[in-house]
Amino acid sequence: MGSCGNACCKLQFTVQEDTATAMKMLNSSLAKGGPDGYFTLQMTAEGTLGFGDLRPYKIEYDFIGQVHHMTSGPMHYNDTIDINIKPQECADQECSGHGSVIKAFSLSLIGGALGDNGQNYKNILMIMKGVQWKAQFGQGAADDSCAPPTVTKATPAEQGSCKNYACDPHHWDSSRPCQCNVACGRYGNCCSDYEQVCGPAPASCEKYGCSDYWDRSKACQCNWGCSDYNNCCPDYWQQCGDASKNSTASLQLV
């Protein structure tokens, strides 16, 4: 149904383009009305139309944007789509320098709409499909507001394996059905034989330790703010629990 109190949908995507290129491609498409001609870029708090540049603040996300969409039905409902863009995760002080993560949240602006029959999901997919990406983008649900895409069960030959791909800590390949890098545990896209071939994923709070700091070089986080940004390591609650969240210190950057 797609609801978070009112009709909405949140999805996350991975693309091969860097954050600046991804932002420019999205902005260019939406400035022309998007795929159906009913998208309208909005002014940001940074004073720019469509997307604001967050890179000077040295935080997790590089760009933030907003666009409105008017539905094509007889009622012409209006929806707001917010978009965040950040680099692919880094690990062990090294970054591959390839790819971006795009998080999009679409919300119906009419009250009393518990669900939307898929409209907000459609809004986001239209935006992503309206851009000529280098390769097919990866897609997943960012929370339970709307269902992830239906996945057809692959044959063994299509499933992919780290035995065939080899373990590469900092390499992400959108053409592969699964990954063999240190961030695959966080994104839930490790090949089934990852631990058997590559060993335990190093991206964990057991390795990093619990702290009040956000560290861009790490594939996932172990600080009290990670649940708000959906970037906790898989073992955060097991290793850190509520201990770090009880800190009264502000989240700091390293």
In a domain, 149, yes or no: no
Same domain for 230 and 184, yes or no, is no
The values of phi and psi at residue 82, to 5°, are: -100, 140
Q: What average pLDDT does the segment 11-25 reach? A: 93
DSSP-assigned beta bridge partners for residue 155: none
49 within a domain of the structure (yes/no): yes
pLDDT at residue 124 is higher than 80 = yes
CA distance 2 to 214: 31
- Whether residues 49 and 132 share a domain: the answer is yes
Q: Do 211 and 193 share a domain, yes or no?
A: no
The reply to whether 21 and 57 lie within a common domain is yes
Could you tell me the CATH number of the domain that includes residue 166? Answer: 4.10.410
Q: Which residue has the higher pLDDT, 26 or 35?
A: 26
Q: pLDDT (tens digit, 9 = 90+) per residue, 72-121?
A: 767 788 999 999 999 987 543 344 457 899 999 999 988 877 767 788 88
The reply to whether 147 falls in a domain is no
Co-location of 110 and 44 in the same domain: yes
Q: Which amino acid is at 88?
A: Q
Do 36 and 97 fall into the same domain? yes
- The burial class, CB within 10 Å (0-12 / 13-18 / 19+), for 171 is middle
140-168 pLDDT tens trace: 777 777 765 554 444 443 468 888 888 87
Q: Does the global pTM surpass 0.85? A: no
10 Å Cβ neighbour count for 251? 18
Report pLDDT for 83: 97
Mean pLDDT confidence for 234-243: 70
Q: Does residue 146 lie in a domain region?
A: no
> What does the pLDDT look like over 177-203, one tens digit per residue?
788 877 676 566 778 888 888 876 666
Residue 240 belongs to domain spanning: 205-253
For 113, the 3-state DSSP assignment is coil
Mean pLDDT within 209-214: 81
